[in-house]
Amino acid sequence: MPDKFLKPYNPAETETRVYEAWEASGFFNPDNLPENGEPFTIVMPPPNANGSLHAGHALFITLEDILIRFKRMQGYKALWLPGADHAGFETQVVYEKKLEKEGRSRFQMDPKDLYDEIYAFTMLNKTGMEDQIRQIGASCDWSREKFTLDPAVVLDVQKTFVKMFADGLVYRGNRTVNWCPKHQTSLSDVETTNGEETAPLYYFTYGPFTIATARPETKFGDKYVVMHPDDERYAKWKEGDSFEAEWINGPITATVIKDEAIDKEFGTGVMTITPWHDATDFEIAKRHHLPYEQVIDWRGRLLPIAGEFAGMKILDARPKIVEKLALKGLVSKIDDTYRHVAKRCYKCNTFIEPQVKDQWFVKMAPLAQKAMEAVNDGAVRFIPENYEKIFRYWMENTLDWNISRQIVWGIPIPAWFRNRGTDAEESVASLERPDGDGWEADTDTFDTWFSSGQWPLIMTGFPEGKDYATFYPTDVMETGHDLIFKWVPRMIIFGLYLGKKVPFHTVYLHGLVNDAQGKKMSKSKGNVVNPLDLTSKYGTDALRMALVVGNTPGTDLALSEERVKGYKHFANKLWNIARFVLEHTGEADMKTPLVAHDAALRKEAEDLLAEVTKDIEEYRIYLAAEKLYHYVWHEFADKILEESKEILRSSDDEAKASRRAFLVHTLDAFLRALHPFMPFVTEEIWQSLQSKDAAFLMIARWPSS
RNA sequence: GCGCUCUUAGCUCAGUUGGUUAGAGCGUUCGCUUCACACGCGAAAGGUCAUAGGUUCGAAUCCUAUAGAGCGCACCA
């Protein structure tokens, strides 16, 4: 028995050494595996290279590594493809915060300089994160790693856009977008949050009508009142009737419009419209061919149309405008109990200002239709199953996807414009500048999800790479349940559009990792747990077990330090079991026939291993881990080892020989079974076992078929 | 408003297709310097499975309603 077993298990001493040996062996790359089985592929959700690893990363790395190691031991060509995401807007926000702290602003910087700075920042973080992923024990193939801003990836993504343009699936749209005045970019619908708020609802006299509004500051240019065509209260007013009204900055002439978008029950059933700053109003204006004008600028300040209020921020202007209207006797009521839903930027919480803007949109309906059909045909399975409903809901209710972002940190949109802002405006998608004079390049970049949506294709080398032929479609997409609508549908859509096949057959969705009380971790609450602190304190294997035991898919996990500590004890237990077995067996004769009692115990163990195998195959990882833990500690150690002491002290040579073989065999089998969950301690012990039959436990045979 | 999920021991959670006395970890109590391990061993206490109905030979598990929690969606200004 090696002397190291005389001391408690030391994760810190073991982990780096073992990982380096694995990596050097080349077996993370399936091309080097001794067996040439069927491929099994997982694309790693590329972490955002703008910070360090958090507990959620540790969870997904663990889950995916368990599946990969399990399949590798079963003889599959197991390929886990790591990558990193530039995470456009997210990273730019992180970097802008940094600039803010330094008293700088991106709006005073040359875009090229800004890009270069963010690039350097991201590359530094990327390297750091790769090391951290190694620390969690990820057996991914680093030789195939990609970054979303690798030149080849950029080109692929741009080609997709050009193809979609040619296929009529992207178009230049001039319409209402979600505008963040702080970050000065438009955002997709999934990049905004909806919060219920209480805001005063003002009732103003508007000529012969009373209108209700929560946004007086947008009302300067309003010259149309709209009501429902069936509203009997206003039956005497006909579409096109006009009237005089005293308004904020003097008298105006207004016109009556009838539209079914108006809710008769809300307010007075009459409203004025501001097409530039409200999506519903924009639609009404389009239907009735009404003019529209910008009232609020891109920074969230009032434009000259506001007269004396020009240049003011909307929240400052609002009370002053109401005050002025009150002096004119035009305020009839203020309802302070009005609750409504307001959209905010999901990063800075600033109110979204709807603005009309030219952007590139992806036509979602035909693409979503295909994704739906694939799911209906059973080509993609969701775990847990109920997420399929959520997926369907999203695919049935798609809005066209705005993919233009007014930020530098991203993949440039290969588009060109001519005669911009005039009736003769032309816009084309092309990798090269089109022929002819006057073309200017689009300065916008793609929404990050436009590139990450193509990730399974990109990682497998679509369309001509050799990996694409072998490993696409991939097998499992394991990611957070919050990505069910942000990421998963886009991957399925792009997979079907470009690759003609779904990119994976199974979507496994994990929950959030919360603090010990089940509260969401956040920097402001100060309850963020750094997974690397936990691995250095208790060992990576302990953290991995704490993250997966009893953690059902789709459900959030409360991660307490006590929990991790418990599994550190388990790693040590395993270590001492090995010590006992090694001490008492010496060179056991593995061919010794087992006595009846030992054969029965062995049957029990084999039945359990068969169950565990089935559990993992059916993605009940939480259950498999718990069963192994329970058997090893409370059966093998507490009962079988205790009973062995007496047997091995006895003078029954047949029973002794049988028991020695049984102990070695059982320890060996459970080290194999535990290896995907606790790779380090199991590998370290297994290297000292007489039953060792491969260079690494990592590539040894799974103990049950 | 609509949709999805959840409510099981002091805490965090399992309970895989309905089937004997409902489980785990941590915590608590009691007893152990047992020669693998005190990062340990042995034992114990602790639950009307949110509530009310229903289906069934049998329900934590299926159905309905109610209450509470969480998440998502929604153009009522």
Q: Which stretch of DSSP H or E encloses residue A482?
A: none
Q: Which of the 273-292 residues on chain A come under 7 Å of nucleic strand B at their beta carbon?
A: 278-280
Q: Dihedral, CA atoms, A590, A595, A599, A600, nearest 10 degrees?
A: -160
Helix locations, A210-299, DSSP H: 279-288
Q: What number is the average pLDDT over the span A201-224?
A: 92
Task: Specify the pairing of strand A192-198 against strand A381-383.
Answer: unpaired
> Nearest nucleotide by C1' from A280 CA?
B75
Bases of chain B below 7 A from a protein C-beta are 3-5, 11-16, 23-27, 36-37, 39-42, 72-77
A620 contact to strand B (CB, 7 A limit): yes
Percent of residues, chain A, with pLDDT higher than 70:
100
For residue A444, say whether its CB is under 7 Å from any atom of strand B: no
The pair of structure tokens assigned to A558 is 């409360």
Query: Would you say residue A7 has pLDDT above 80?
Result: yes
Highest mean pLDDT among A331-345, A452-466, A516-530: A452-466
Tell me how far apart the alpha carbons of residues A68 and A463 are, in angstroms, rounded to a whole number.
Answer: 25
Give the contacts of A668 (CB within 8 A, at least 6 positions apart): A686, A689, A691, A703
Residue–nucleotide distance: A630 CA to B8 C1' (Å): 21
How do residues A100-150 score in pLDDT, each as one tens digit? 999 999 999 999 999 999 999 999 999 999 999 999 999 999 999 999 999
**Stated in angstroms, how far is A280 CA from B13 C1'?**
46
Q: Which CATH class is domain A187-353?
A: alpha beta
pLDDT value of position A217: 93
More confident site: A604 or A525: A604
**In the complex, which nucleotide's C1' lies nearest to the CA atom of residue A517?**
B12
A552 touches strand B (CB under 7 A): yes
Subset of residues 1-30 in chain A with CB less than 7 angstroms from any atom in strand B: 8-9
Residue with tokens 């270590």: A575
A210 touches strand B (CB under 7 A): no
What pLDDT sits at residue A418? 94
Q: Name residues 91-130 of chain A with a Cβ under 7 Å from nucleic strand B.
A: none
Query: From the Cβ of A648, is strand B under 7 Å away?
Result: no
Q: Are A668 and A689 in contact (CB under 8 A)?
A: yes
- Taking the C1' atom of every nucleotide in all shown strands and the CA of A570, the nearest one is B39
**Predicted confidence band of residue A264 (pLDDT cuts 50, 70, 90):** confident
Q: What pairs with residue A402 in β-bridges?
A: A361
Closest of A132, A35, A37 to residue A82, by C-alpha = A132
* CA A566/CA A561 separation, integer angstroms: 9
Q: So what's the pLDDT on residue A424?
A: 87
Helix (H, G, I), strand (E, B) or coil at A359: strand
Instruction: Decide: CB of A395 under 7 A of nucleic strand B.
Output: no
Fold of the domain built from segment(s) A560-699: Isoleucyl-tRNA Synthetase; Domain 1 (1.10.730)
In tens, the pLDDT along A654-701 reads: 999 999 999 999 999 999 999 999 999 999 999 999 999 999 999 999
Q: Which of residues 354-383 of A touch strand B (CB under 7 A)?
A: none
* Tens-place pLDDT, residues A295-342: 999 999 999 999 999 999 999 999 999 999 999 999 999 988 888 888
The domains of chain A are located at 187-353, 560-699
Residue A522 has pLDDT above 80, yes or no: no
Instruction: Give the model's confidence band at A23: pLDDT under 50 very low, under 70 low, under 90 confident, else very high.
Output: very high
Specify which residue's alpha carbon is closest to the C1' of nucleotide B37.
A576
pLDDT score of A523: 74
For residue A415, what is the enclosing H or E element?
Answer: strand A415-418
> Which backbone phi and psi does A546 adopt, to 5 degrees?
-60, -30
Q: How far is the CA of A556 from the C1' of B52 (A)?
A: 30
A301 close to A311: Cβ distance less than 8 angstroms: yes
Nucleotide nearest residue A538, measured CA to C1': B39
C-alpha to C-alpha distance for A139 and A80, rounded to whole angstroms: 7
Give the residue among A74, A84, A75, A88 at the shortest CA–CA distance from A138: A84
A window 340-359: Cβ near strand B (< 7 A): 340-341
Q: How many residues does chain A have?
A: 705
When the pLDDT of each residue in chain A is averaged and rounded to a whole number, the result is 92
**Minimal CA–CA distance to A41: which of A454, A462, A621, A476?**
A476
> Does the predicted TM-score (pTM) go above 0.90?
yes
**CA→C1' distance for A655 and B50 (Å):** 55
Q: Measuring CA to CA, which residue among A302, A270, A255, A278 is closest to residue A205?
A: A270
In this prediction, residue A411 carries a pLDDT of 97
Tell me the nt nearest to A638, Cα to C1': B41
Cβ neighbours of residue A127 closer than 8 Å, sequence gap 6 or more: none
Structural contact between residues A554 and A385, judged by C-beta atoms closer than 8 angstroms: no
DSSP letter (8 states) at residue A24: H
Q: What ipTM describes this predicted complex? A: 0.93
Q: Is the CB of A215 under 7 A from strand B?
A: yes
A519 — pLDDT class (breaks 50, 70, 90): confident
Q: Give tens-digit pLDDT for A72-83.
A: 999 999 999 999
The model's confidence at residue A193, banded by pLDDT at 50, 70 and 90, is confident
Instruction: Say yes or no: do domains A187-353 and A560-699 share a fold.
Output: no
